[in-house]
Structure 1
Amino acid sequence: MRSLLIIHNESTATERRTERSARKLLPEYILQSEGYQVRHTNKEEQAREWLMESEAAILHVPIADINRIAPKLLERKTVPLVWWCSSLTMSQSLESCEDDVRIDGVLTPSMSGSEIHWVLHFSTKQCFERKQWADEKQMLLSKLEERKWIDMAKGILCEIKNISEAEAYELLRKQAMNERKRMVDVATSIVKVYQLLQSQK
């Protein structure tokens, strides 16, 4: 990982205009001195644009801002989100430390180059594991939704045709094959037509 995007807010952006000794604690200074290519911005639209060329986003903002910024970034591109925990961002985050925050790692100004490397490496692994979990969760929710429609359609067929659940399932399966559709699509059609007829009674 070489290309990093640092996102500031208004208060952390003013830190960059401080005296030279304090500047050495800024994320862009530290990360550049460790060989990383760094861009930084406090503008959300620019952050979303530059994110496309970055391998991670370093959030130099209070914790309360992370949950507002993160979804906008991640709808653009999946990258590790790493919080830069400076004395300023920490002091602005005291009330938010119990919040459920979506970050993959934490960096501090006192870390050595190898510690920074390992945090970024770990953050990348964490980010893609969480994406995989989110994808699996979405797939399971989708399957549960499909199961719901199929079960409702089976119930309707059992009631109307006076058949068993197994027979209703087999009827749905055959209809789906005949129409060259997914079983859930046939089931959804049956349920919606049934609900429409019931509402007209």
Structure 2
Amino acid sequence: MRAIVVIENRSDLPSDSGDGSRPSASAAAVLLRGGYQVTAAATCEQALPLLSSADACVLAVPISVYSDWRVSISSHRALPTLWWCSERTANVLPAAYPGVITTDGILSPGMSPAELEWSLQLALGQFQTRRQWVKEREQLLTRLEERKWIERAKGILSSTRNIPEAEAYDLLRKQAMNERKRIADVAASIVNAYQLLHK
């Protein structure tokens, strides 16, 4: 993971405190020193074209707006998204933050190149795991929905033909093979036709 887009919207960041403390290094500067190819953007419009060639995205924005930025980025392209945690971006204490934060990792100004590399590699693994979970969840929801159609169709066939449900399932399976369709599609057709006839 070498090419990183850093989004730092200065209008979202609080102004320096004026207490004489040195401002922390920017995310882009720290990543550049770590040997990464960094492109920076201040707005979503600037960032979107840069995402196509990026390996990851670092959001140097206050945690209070992080989720909004992450949704905008992920709707364009799925890639590991990390939060840049600094005094300026950690504008809300964790206990006071009401939302759920989904991030693949956290980076901070004081990280060494080795720490950056480890954090980015762990973020990549987290991102891949999360994507796999989303894919498996979608597959399970699809199977569950298909199972509902099949169960309804079995019930309809069982009651209208006065046969046991096991026989109704065999009838569904045979019809699906004859029509070269999936059993769930045949079941949905039966349920829809039955509901149309009995309205």
**TM-score scaled by structure 1?**
0.90
Q: How far apart are the structure 2 equivalents of 1:143 and 1:71?
A: 27
- Out of 98-107 and 161-170, give the one that drifted further: 98-107
1:18-167 alignment, distance < 5 Å: 22=22, 25-92=25-92, 97-167=97-167
Pairwise CA RMSD of aligned residues?
Answer: 2.2
Higher helix proportion, which one? 1
Matched-pair contact (CA < 8 Å) for 2:63–2:91: no
Matched-pair contact (CA < 8 Å) for 1:64–1:93: no
**Aligned position for 1:178:** 178
Q: Give the 3-state SS of the residue equivalent to 1:100 in structure 2.
A: coil
**Aligned position for 1:195:** 195
- Out of 177-186 and 36-45, give the one that drifted further: 36-45
* Cα pair distance change 1:38/1:13, threshold 3 Å: farther
- Out of 133-142 and 65-74, give the one that drifted further: 65-74
Matched-pair contact (CA < 8 Å) for 1:13–1:42: no
Matched-pair contact (CA < 8 Å) for 1:2–1:55: yes
Matched-pair contact (CA < 8 Å) for 1:5–1:47: yes
Matched-pair contact (CA < 8 Å) for 1:5–1:50: yes
* Cα pair distance change 1:94/1:130, threshold 3 Å: closer
Deviation at 1:92, TM superposition (A): 4.7
**TM-score scaled by structure 2?**
0.90
Per-residue CA deviation, residues 44-85 of structure 1 (Å, 9 max, x unaligned), is 122122111110110111222222122222232221111000
Q: How far apart are the structure 1 equivalents of 2:151 and 2:106?
A: 46
Q: How many residues align?
A: 196
Q: How far apart are the structure 2 equivalents of 1:50 and 1:24?
A: 25
Q: Which runs of 5+ in 1 are unaligned?
A: none
